[in-house]
Amino acid sequence: MSELTKGLEGIVATKTKVSSIVDDQLTYAGYEIDDLTENASFEEVIFLLWHFRLPNAEELQNLKGQLFDNMILNPRMYSHFEDYATDQIHPMTGLRTSLSYLAHFDPRAEEFNEDAHLNKAIRIQAKVASLVAAFARVRQGKEVVKPKKDLSYAANFLYMLFGEEPTKVQEEGFNKALILHADHELNASTFTARVAVSTLSDMYSGVTAAAGALKGPLHGGANEQVMKMLSEIGSIDNVEDYVQKKIDNKEKIMGFGHRVYKNGDPRAKYLKEMSRKITDETGQKELYEISVKIADLLKEKKGLLPNVDFYSATVYHSMNIEHDLFTPIFAVSRTSGWIAHILEQYADNRIIRPRAEYVGDVHRKYVPVSER
């Protein structure tokens, strides 16, 4: 057996064409995210991740149409939110349930061939946006909003969430955020998705398992915790004490550090700039200033740099998005990457089954319960 590597750090577990991190640059199918974030739509990125090339005009139009058509949920899907969409349940818990429940309404859920896989891919990608928006509205006692034709994926999500069309600036900002979160090599949730489907289980199992992994605060759950921290800090005068206490208590500060990037997360610079602009526009400049001060202190004291979750928190907050929806929104975007990896896993599958080093007791003998 090979040597144990805690957290599988540095272990190469699969080959992929979906995305890669080379010299601290993130690329999707060979395109740098800087290029895509500046120029592409999220729909083009979805196609790129699933097909390893950008779509032509007709393919893009088709994909947009299919995504819109599939955003509408089965009526029973809408009504199930009435049962559990409340403030007592974290929306990621709700999303995990709903992703699984989607399979109940897919007549091709158990079909196993390329066409069925792509059909499921589009259904899931389209519906995940509707699931998150519907949960958020129902728990506020509001009517569910159905998608609107001819809106982009980014705009439709915001429309279904808020009940009104976003401005161009909001749509563009959200489109960029979706692109930046779409995929990230073999992160924990993507690996989870690949493990689940490597048993040849269905795509719904893969994305449901992945959503469960994303929920944790060490992964996608970090963005919500960042906002919690900023609220706790409250004012720029409190930053230094807060950070020092965390360092002294050896507590982690959410939104910092990364398993792979040690020179900074390439996605953070976009989100930082978006955060600067949007907090300024919405009269919440101090939130940005607090964030920058935390980042400066952590760099100076611990050599730690912000990751994708740090500035995305203030961006979403300034868009009036409820804090516990930050991680579900991450999931809406990352679903595209999960699906890409699931398709890739199916195309060249071998069950993922590593070994464990046993460190428990040995040579024990059964003792009847009456003698214990």
Task: List residues bridging with 19 in a β-sheet.
Answer: 28
Instruction: Return the sign of the alpha-carbon dihedral for residues 301, 305, 309, 310.
Output: positive
**Residue number, 205 or 223, with CB nearest to ligand COA:** 223
Helices 308-318 & 222-233 angle (0-180, nearest 10): 70
> Could you please report the per-residue DSSP string of 230-245?
HHHH-SGGGHHHHHHH
Q: Does 135 bind ligand COA (CB under 6 A)?
A: no
Q: Taking a C-beta distance cutoff of 8 angstroms, is the pair 159, 147 a contact?
A: yes
Q: What is the DSSP letter of 166?
A: P
Region of 77-85, 104-112, 215-223, 231-239 interacting with ligand COA (CB under 6 A)? 215-223
For 9, residues 6+ apart whose C-beta sits below 8 A from its C-beta are 259
Count of residues that bind ligand COA according to CB under 6 A: 17
Let me know if 219 is a catalytic residue: no
Q: Does 222 bind ligand COA (CB under 6 A)?
A: yes
**Residue number, 4 or 218, with CB nearest to ligand COA:** 218
From 117, 184, 258, 317, active-site residue: 258
Give the β-pairing of 19-22 and 25-28.
antiparallel
Region of 55-63, 98-106, 139-147, 214-222 interacting with ligand COA (CB under 6 A)? 214-222
List for the chain the helix, strand, coil content (%; round to 5). Answer: 60, 5, 35
Q: Between residue 294 and residue 323, which ones bind ligand COA under the rule CB under 6 A?
A: 302, 304, 307-309
Question: Rounded distance, CA 243 to CA 237, Å?
Answer: 11
Region of 103-111, 160-168, 251-259, 360-368 interacting with ligand COA (CB under 6 A)? 251-259
Nearest approach, Cβ of residue 308 and ligand COA (Å): 5
Nearest approach, Cβ of residue 166 and ligand COA (Å): 26
Question: Rounded distance, CA 89 to CA 95, Å?
Answer: 10
**Residue number, 55 or 306, with CB nearest to ligand COA:** 306
**Residue number, 104 or 252, with CB nearest to ligand COA:** 252
Q: Taking a C-beta distance cutoff of 8 angstroms, is the pair 329, 321 a contact?
A: yes
Identity of the amino acid at 97: T
Residue of closest CB approach to ligand COA? 257
Using CB under 6 A, which of 147, 166, 212, 255 touches ligand COA? Answer: 255
Let me know if 258 is a catalytic residue: yes
Q: Taking a C-beta distance cutoff of 8 angstroms, is the pair 319, 170 a contact?
A: yes
* Number of Cβ atoms within 10 Å of the Cβ of 292: 17
Question: Rounded distance, CA 351 to CA 288, Å?
Answer: 45
In three-state secondary structure terms, 363 is coil
Nearest approach, Cβ of residue 264 and ligand COA (Å): 12
**Residue number, 41 or 307, with CB nearest to ligand COA:** 307
Q: Does 253 bind ligand COA (CB under 6 A)?
A: yes
Nearest approach, Cβ of residue 92 and ligand COA (Å): 14
Q: Does 333 bind ligand COA (CB under 6 A)?
A: no
**Residue number, 137 or 176, with CB nearest to ligand COA:** 176
Question: Rounded distance, CA 144 to CA 134, Å?
Answer: 5
From 106, 183, 265, 309, active-site residue: 309
Nearest approach, Cβ of residue 336 and ligand COA (Å): 17
Contact characters 256-295, ligand COA, x per CB under 6 A = xxxx------------------------------------
Using CB under 6 A, which of 4, 13, 200, 218 touches ligand COA? Answer: 218
**Residue number, 48 or 188, with CB nearest to ligand COA:** 188
In three-state secondary structure terms, 76 is helix
Sheet holding 25-28, edge to edge: 19-22, 25-28, 31-32
The catalytic site residues sit at 258, 309
Residues that bind ligand COA (CB under 6 A): 7, 218-219, 222, 252-259, 302, 304, 307-309
